[in-house]
Amino acid sequence: MKNSSLVSITDYSVDDILQILDLASFFEKNPRPNFISDKVVATLFFEPSTRTRLSFETAIQRLGGRVIGFTDAGTSSVSKGETLKDTVLTVANYADLIVMRHPIEGSARYASEISPVPVINAGDGANQHPTQTLLDLYSIKKTQGKLENLNIVMVGDLKYGRTVHSLIHALSNFNPTFHFVSHKILETPNEYKLFLDEKGIKYFEYSNLDNAIAQADVIYMTRVQKERFSDLMEYEKTKDAYVLRRDMLEGVKPNMKVMHPLPRVNEISIDVDDTVQAYYFQQARNGVYTRQAIIAKVLGIDVK
Ligand code: CP
């Protein structure tokens, strides 16, 4: 395996993606192999996180590695005015791999270009969240038995949602049909629709969630991301537009699953949590196996 950063899901070929899913399955069955006991991994989180940071740190520890880093840039020398470049070059002296979340789009690409050690993008602004996408694909394959020819209903913040943007790119390799459900203000950006047009991938846009549900193999709910809005009036107009309730799941396909990258605010009613369709907490668990696989690949560890 080669040693390289993961910044965008488009850095990975279909073969790379399938290799990660295969490795994740291996790690699900073999959770604690000591593959990186000589490695230190830095987790630099310039934005809040629960799942991404903690599942990465769990993955590192299950692989036998050690973790350094910060969860709040305010406790680092960034608060004194240190640049991203100086932070990355300094931390690269201490760690074999950097996992970074940052609010600025393109920051992970920049870090990967200046860093002497590989960088994994744990989310850069509204741009990309490739490790979430890989765990989403793992979850889809695990529940649906395949990735090909699925009807994927994406709901909520399709404009700022980096998880949605990465997932559109990745799933486009597997002939999906997308059903985009969003408020007009938060619809899928044109660049993604043009990309799908060029690839000949079908997509439909809806303002009413009820009209999309019956076709779904997966409903991918997302949070309206208050932190990305420059105009809070627009947030107020859109924040309650779509709420998935238990009664809306009557008549869905037998194997349909509801996924969400989390955190949720109110877009999935808690009465959905104990339905057979709810999969979002198992999805978060899959993040550990998938991130073990990503770390192994990025560090060039021969697992099998
Ligand atoms: N899905 C996700 O990125 O969650 P966190 O923001 O909690 O890391």
What confidence tens digit (pLDDT) does each residue in 140-149 have? 999 999 999 9
- Rounded average pLDDT over 65-79: 94
Task: Give the pLDDT of residue 237.
Answer: 84
Between CA 142 and CA 215 the distance in angstroms is: 19
Q: pLDDT (tens digit, 9 = 90+) per residue, 92-127?
A: 999 999 999 999 999 999 999 999 999 999 999 888
**Residue 1's pLDDT band (boundaries 50, 70, 90)?**
very low
Residues with active-site annotation: 51-52, 80, 101, 129
Q: pLDDT (tens digit, 9 = 90+) per residue, 266-296?
A: 999 999 999 999 999 999 999 999 999 999 9
Between CA 273 and CA 267 the distance in angstroms is: 12
For the chain, give the secondary structure using H, E and C.
Answer: CCCCCECCHHHCCHHHHHHHHHHHHHHHHCCCCCCCCCCEEEEEECCCCCHHHHHHHHHHHHCCCEEEEECCHHHCHHHHCCCHHHHHHHHCCCCCEEEEEECCCCHHHHHHHHCCCCEEEEEECCCECHHHHHHHHHHHHHHHCCCCCCEEEEECCCCCCHHHHHHHHHHHHHCCEEEEECCHHHCCCHHHHHHHHHHCCEEEEECCCHHHHCCCCEEEECCCCHHHCCCHHHHHHHCCCCCECHHHHCCCCCCCEEECCCCCCCCECHHHCCCCCECHHHHHHHHHHHHHHHHHHHHCCCCC
C-beta of 52 in contact with ligand 1 (< 6 A)? yes
Task: Give the pLDDT of residue 230.
Answer: 83
Query: Closest ligand 1 atom to the C-alpha of 261?
Result: 1
Ligand 1, atom 1: closest residue by C-alpha: 261
Task: Spell out the residues 6+ positions from residue 225 whose beta carbon is closer than 8 angstroms to its own.
Answer: 126, 157, 160, 161
**Residue 41's pLDDT band (boundaries 50, 70, 90)?**
very high
Q: Which domains does the chain have, with CATH numbers?
A: 9-129+287-298 (3.40.50.1370), 130-284 (3.40.50.1370)
In angstroms, what is the span from residue 55 Cα to ligand 1's centroid? 10
Task: Give the pLDDT of residue 3.
Answer: 45
Q: pLDDT (tens digit, 9 = 90+) per residue, 169-179?
A: 999 999 999 99
In angstroms, what is the span from residue 198 Cα to ligand 1's centroid? 31
Q: What is the mean pLDDT of the chain?
A: 95
Q: pLDDT (tens digit, 9 = 90+) per residue, 197-242?
A: 999 999 999 999 999 999 999 999 999 988 888 888 888 888 888 9
C-beta of 300 in contact with ligand 1 (< 6 A)? no
